[in-house]
Amino acid sequence: MVKQRGFVIWAVLLAGLLGLLNLPLPASRQAKEAVREALAPLHALVSGAGLRLREAGTTLRGIGGLASENRALQEEVLRLRGEMRALQTDAKENGVLRELLGFKRRAGQKLVAAEVIARDSTGWWQTLRLDRGSRDGLAADLAVVTPDGLAGRIVEVSDHTADVLLVSDPSCRVAVRIPRTGSNGVLSGTGVRWNGQVVCRIDFINRNHAIRPGDEVVTSGLGGVFPPDLPVGYVETVETDAAGLYLRAEVLPRADLARMRHAFVLAAPREAPAPSRRGAAP
């Protein structure tokens, strides 16, 4: 009798577990969102405290070298001012040429700044969590960038958080282009090397294109998820694939994916001002 009762209890427990595994997607998503929302403030608090501690440590370590750092920064400021003047001249010239050629200026995209508050807790994905969510205008499949280059795309979003699949994850695919040769390919992550270096790979490059190490890689805009011309990284090595039909290149991402603390989400383009009724064509 006791054995039978034990059997029934375990059967119920296992049935519960199986039910959990087969939860309908909306229910599963709602449950995950609820837990994420509840824990988001705690995540932000712990992650913020860790950041402050690291910053304090860096400050303490750097006190000795402040004078030389200050000199180096002043030189950098002078150099950057010079570059900025040159770029302003180029931008003016570029604008004039574009007008002459009749190009349309690309719609300005809204950038949402966000802080990284957590990383994947299972270790099987290359993801991180941002402290902004659907209430800030974020949605799935929006591109995430750092000042250096592309970081990934949003895969899941709740009211106040968003999960980003990094380009270093093997399941993240990005249509890319090598501007020097005009070659197109598909970039996917290959994980992280022993030394912590994040590496990606481009497959299906036309073998007649002379790709070489150091070539810049940017998004091609094909596929619609990532806007074109976002910097992605640089080619490190090139080889022919096993079948000998295509080239394959290893790419070092420009963005420091392993240590990024802040990111920008390319939210939906700013809405163009509504055409005035007076000016509208009949």
Partner 1 sequence: MSVLSLVIVLLSGGVLQAVLPTWAAAGQMPVPVLPALVVYYALTRNRVAAFWIGVAAGLVQDALGIVPLGFSSCCFAVAALLLNRYREEVFEWEGLTHMILGGAAAAGTTLALGLLLGAAAGMHLPVGRIALKTLGAAGLGVATTPLVCRGVRRLDVMLGLVAEARR
4 binds partner 1 (CB under 8 A): no
Task: Tell me if 173 contacts partner 1 by CB under 8 A.
Answer: no
Q: How far is the CB of 113 from partner 1 (least distance, A)?
A: 20
DSSP secondary structure letters along the chain: -HHHHHHHHHHHHHHHHHHHHT--HHHHHHHHHHHHHHHHHHHHHHHHHHHHHHHHHHHHHHGGGHHHHHHHHHHHHHHHHHHHHHHHHHHHHHHHHHHHHTPPPPPPEEEEEEEEEEE-SSSSS-EEEES--GGGT--TT-EEE-SSSEEEEEEEE-SS-EEEEETTSTT-EEEEEETTTTEEEEEEEEEE-TTS-EEEEEEEEETTS---TT-EEEE--TTSSSPTT-EEEEEEEEEE-TTSSEEEEEEEESS-TTT--EEEEEEEEPPPPPPPTTTS--
Please, which of residues 260-279 interact with partner 1 by CB under 8 A? none
Out of 68, 121, 208, 276, point to the residue binding partner 1 (CB under 8 A): 121
Candidate residues 194, 214, 271, 274; the one interacting with partner 1 per rule CB under 8 A: 194
**Residue 126, interface with partner 1 (CB under 8 A)?**
yes
In the range 9-68, which residues lie near partner 1 by CB under 8 A?
A: 9, 13, 16-17, 20-23, 28, 31-32, 35-36, 38-39, 42-43, 46-47, 50
Among 112, 114, 117, 172, binds partner 1 (CB under 8 A): 117
Binding interface with partner 1 (CB under 8 A) = 9, 13, 16-17, 20-23, 28, 31-32, 35-36, 38-39, 42-43, 46-47, 50, 117-127, 129, 155-156, 163, 165, 170-171, 191-197, 258
